[in-house]
DNA sequence: CTGTTAGCGCATTCAA
DNA sequence: TTGAATGCGCTAACAG
């Protein structure tokens, strides 16, 4: 900036004023400065600006896996909401590791982001509450009560219930479930919904119909193989997420079991690719994009000193072609 | 830091020294400072550090679409390479828009990132060359010659050739091609490879077998519908990327055309989900993860004042179950 | 071993 | 309208 000022023959405060439109400046000087800026290819140093202003115009986003469509759809929503606001996202990944997650959050705080969005993950609410002291936070996938924080959550129990209910409504009674990991609270809630639906419908819970998975494709494949090995009969499968449903679908294909003629299959999430499996997958749609967008908007409001309510969104049943009525 | 120094009863330089291990400090003072840090929940301001040191320990990554697995696999590679180096990625998206891309790059420069990785996109090499004056750059998907820059590229023409060649080797002669967008240089190169393979094999080029797509699923579906509408006969399809292959696969399914019994299908990219389509997709594998990793490593080397050579990687044919020999 | 001091690049208050 | 001066939080001489 020194340099620009020198070339334009003005003081650096004048340059600053022109850059920010903070005050009126004479035409000639303005022109001179703009010429100097163009000539020197000058770009104001945001670090210094932030240091001075006390705002970085950056929001940190803690994701768990940059490779997963699940997270990335949410990120897209965040990106959309941030566009044209002057804020830029600083995306970091916790890799589903509590230690890693804390480290990343601390990094974000050290970089003085103006706010943080935490997408799921394994951090305890108390832990997050503590960070709330230092920076506004919006979380998804859990509830939280604090001054400068809010949560956007989905009722996974109800959604698990709805998925199972759909199968029940189609006259299925022998419904297998491929569970998500024990440590995911969402997964256990979906499972709880499954059991409640069963019990309400007067269907006995059969433990042999439930197999553990880890939310990834291979585990879905393995789960179906296990089910087949057990020799237990079933007419439908509820997979706790779409990725495992893909794996299950492949295992079924390998055994020449047709979908939906022989077995009905329902997933959870509605990933973009789920409309393009063959046949297209029936699933519980999570409004991931919207949640990301809302999270970002809420965060900006909090930063803006406005009060924001936590909210709960709903999953929606998307009936496509992998479920069929039993006659 | 003032505060920490005051609480610990030392000067701020001592605090700094302890934070950075720059010099030996007596046990008592060290202890006092560490206590103060813990007590105040102090986290050094990275902005100020960067401003002072002239390094932000941040590398900018220009991607085009945070929602796409294609880019995200590359990002994962970058993330992996950056882990434990002290560098953090600042990911921004250009949304396939030249203006947007320039804006993002300028933003990254304004934020004084130590280097930039540009993943594909529509920026002209000359344009990038200009930015090279201001910051080290590694690009993928194009070639570039500059002091503090390097490129990691893949020979898409050769890969398009190999894909077509595979079909030819399986005795297919009527091979349709679903093209990528004209403005993607990769797409036109893959198409060029397709034509070369055909011509080398003495197969006449038939324009009616080629349909335009936009690299996304729906266009693959539409492409097959168009092919069918044209009433032109074909026994195999080479889709310019996996996503369009998914769309094509669904269209075929709708028309009760079996894969690979009736039609062979080959994609391009080998996205993670391609092992889980039914049947699993034969495709040209791009080492996306590795490319991301290499890009990041190269960038760090350049930042480290080392000379780095541009390099060319190769796509690899992954034969799965959607292609079959014609007898 | 430790404290004092001079900037890093910018925004802004205070004078002029 | 404009310029000089101050400080944002930190590091790195420099001097003790």
Residue B187 lies in a domain: yes
Residue A320 lies in a domain: no
Q: Chain B contacts of A41, Cβ < 8 Å?
A: 133-134
Tell me what the mean pLDDT of segment A153-180 comes to.
97
Residue A13 Cβ < 7 Å to strand C: yes
Residue A323 lies in a domain: no
Residue B265, class by beta-carbon neighbours within 10 Å (0-12 exposed, 13-18 middle, 19+ buried)?
buried
Least confident of A145-149, A226-230, B258-262: A145-149
Q: What is the pLDDT of residues A13-23, one digit of tens each?
A: 999 999 998 88
Q: Of the candidates A267, A149, A257, which has an alpha carbon nearest to the alpha carbon of residue A217?
A: A267
Residue A319 lies in a domain: no
Q: How confident is the model at residue A317, as a pLDDT?
A: 98
Q: How confident is the model at residue B206, as a pLDDT?
A: 97
Number of domains chain B is built from: 3
Mutate to test the interface with B, among A111, A269, A289 (most CBs of B within 10 A): A111
Q: Name which of A45, A93, A280 is nearest B112 (Cβ-Cβ).
A: A45
Q: Which domain holds residue B29?
A: 2-44
Distance CA A151, CA B167 (A): 52
Q: How confident is the model at residue A155, as a pLDDT?
A: 95
Contact A62, A101 (CB under 8 A): yes
What CATH number corresponds to the domain at position B66?
A: 3.40.50.2300
For residues B133 and B203, membership in a common domain is answered with: no
For residues B125 and B12, membership in a common domain is answered with: no
pLDDT reading at A136 higher than 90: yes
C-alpha B49, offset from chain centre? 31
The shortest C-alpha distance from A204 to chain B (Å) reads 33
For residues A139 and A174, membership in a common domain is answered with: no
For residues A148 and A292, membership in a common domain is answered with: yes
Q: What is the pLDDT of residues A254-299, one digit of tens each?
A: 999 999 999 999 999 999 999 999 999 999 999 999 999 999 999 9
For residues A96 and A65, membership in a common domain is answered with: yes
* pTM for the structure as a whole: 0.93
Residue A150 lies in a domain: yes
Residue A327 lies in a domain: no
Distance CA B240, CA B265 (A): 11
Residue A16 Cβ < 7 Å to strand C: yes
Q: How confident is the model at residue A214, as a pLDDT?
A: 95
C-alpha B43, offset from chain centre? 34
B67, A106: Cβ pair inside 8 Å?
no
For residues A166 and A234, membership in a common domain is answered with: yes
Q: What is the pLDDT of residues B163-187, one digit of tens each?
A: 999 999 999 999 999 999 998 889 9
What CATH number corresponds to the domain at position A20?
A: 1.10.260.40
- Distance (Å) of CA A23 to CA A27, B24, B120, B163: 12, 49, 41, 62
The shortest C-alpha distance from A185 to chain B (Å) reads 25
pLDDT reading at A143 higher than 90: no
Distance CA A266, CA A163 (A): 7
For residues A165 and A232, membership in a common domain is answered with: yes
Picking from B271, B286, B301, the residue at the C-terminal end of a domain is: B286
Residue B327 lies in a domain: no
Q: Is the dihedral of CA A232, A235, A240, A246 positive or negative?
A: positive
pLDDT reading at A185 higher than 90: no
Contact B119, B71 (CB under 8 A): yes
Residue B51 Cβ < 7 Å to strand C: yes
Q: Which residues pair with A63 in a beta bridge?
A: A93
- Distance (Å) of CA B226 to CA A175, A215, B217, B223: 40, 37, 14, 5
For residues A101 and A169, membership in a common domain is answered with: no
Residue B51 lies in a domain: no
Q: Chain B contacts of A50, Cβ < 8 Å?
A: 47
Q: What is the pLDDT of residues A41-86, one digit of tens each?
A: 899 999 999 999 999 999 999 999 998 899 999 999 999 999 999 9
DSSP secondary structure letter of residue B75: H
For residues A102 and A216, membership in a common domain is answered with: no
Tell me what the mean pLDDT of segment B287-294 comes to.
96
For residues B66 and B145, membership in a common domain is answered with: yes
Please give the mean pLDDT across all residues of chain B: 95
For residues A76 and A103, membership in a common domain is answered with: yes
**Using 50, 70 and 90 to split pLDDT, how confident is the model at B129?**
very high
Nucleotide closest in space to B112 (CA vs C1')? C9
The shortest C-alpha distance from B113 to chain A (Å) reads 10
Distance CA A162, CA A317 (A): 7
Distance CA A49, CA A56 (A): 8
pLDDT reading at B109 higher than 90: yes
Q: How confident is the model at residue A163, as a pLDDT?
A: 98
**Using 50, 70 and 90 to split pLDDT, how confident is the model at B203?**
very high
Q: Chain A contacts of B92, Cβ < 8 Å?
A: 88
DSSP secondary structure letter of residue A182: T
Distance CA B278, CA A9 (A): 70
**Using 50, 70 and 90 to split pLDDT, how confident is the model at B269?**
very high
- Cβ atoms within 10 Å of A202's Cβ, excluding its own: 8
Residue B99 Cβ < 7 Å to strand C: no
Distance CA A90, CA A82 (A): 11
Tell me what the mean pLDDT of segment A146-164 comes to.
95
For residues A130 and A207, membership in a common domain is answered with: no
Nucleotide closest in space to A110 (CA vs C1')? D9
């Amino acid at each position: 900036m020194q340099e620009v000022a020198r070339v334009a023959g003005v003081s650096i405060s004048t340059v600053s004023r022109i850059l920010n439109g903070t005050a009126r400046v004479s035409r000639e000087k303005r022109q001179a400065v703009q010429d100097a800026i163009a000539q020197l290819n000058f770009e104001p140093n945001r670090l210094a600006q932030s240091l001075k202003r006390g705002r970085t115009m950056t929001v940190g986003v803690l994701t768990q896996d940059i490779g997963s469509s699940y997270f990335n759809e949410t990120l897209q929503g965040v990106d959309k909401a941030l566009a044209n606001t002057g804020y830029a996202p600083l995306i970091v990944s916790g890799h589903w590791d509590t230690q890693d997650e804390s480290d990343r959050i601390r990094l974000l705080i050290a970089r003085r982001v103006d706010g943080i969005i935490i997408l799921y993950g394994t951090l305890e609410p108390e832990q997050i509450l503590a960070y709330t002291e230092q920076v506004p936070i919006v979380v998804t996938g859990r509830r939280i009560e604090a001054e400068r924080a809010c949560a956007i959550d989905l009722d996974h129990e109800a959604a698990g219930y709805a998925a199972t209910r759909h199968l029940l409504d189609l006259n299925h009674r022998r419904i297998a479930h491929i569970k998500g990991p024990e440590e995911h609270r969402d997964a256990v809630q979906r499972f709880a919904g499954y059991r409640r639906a069963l019990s309400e419908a007067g269907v006995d819970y059969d433990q042999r119909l439930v197999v553990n998975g880890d939310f990834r494709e291979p585990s879905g494949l393995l789960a179906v193989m296990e089910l087949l090995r057990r020799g237990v009969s079933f007419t439908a499968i509820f997979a706790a997420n779409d990725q495992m449903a893909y794996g299950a679908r492949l295992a079924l294909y390998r055994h020449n079991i047709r979908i939906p003629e022989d077995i009905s299959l329902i997933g959870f999430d509605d990933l973009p690719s789920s409309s393009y499996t063959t046949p297209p997958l029936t699933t519980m749609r999570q409004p991931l994009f919207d949640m990301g967008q809302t999270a970002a908007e809420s965060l900006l409001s909090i930063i803006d000193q406005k009060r924001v309510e936590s909210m709960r969104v709903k999953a929606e049943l998307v009936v496509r072609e992998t479920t069929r009525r039993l006659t």
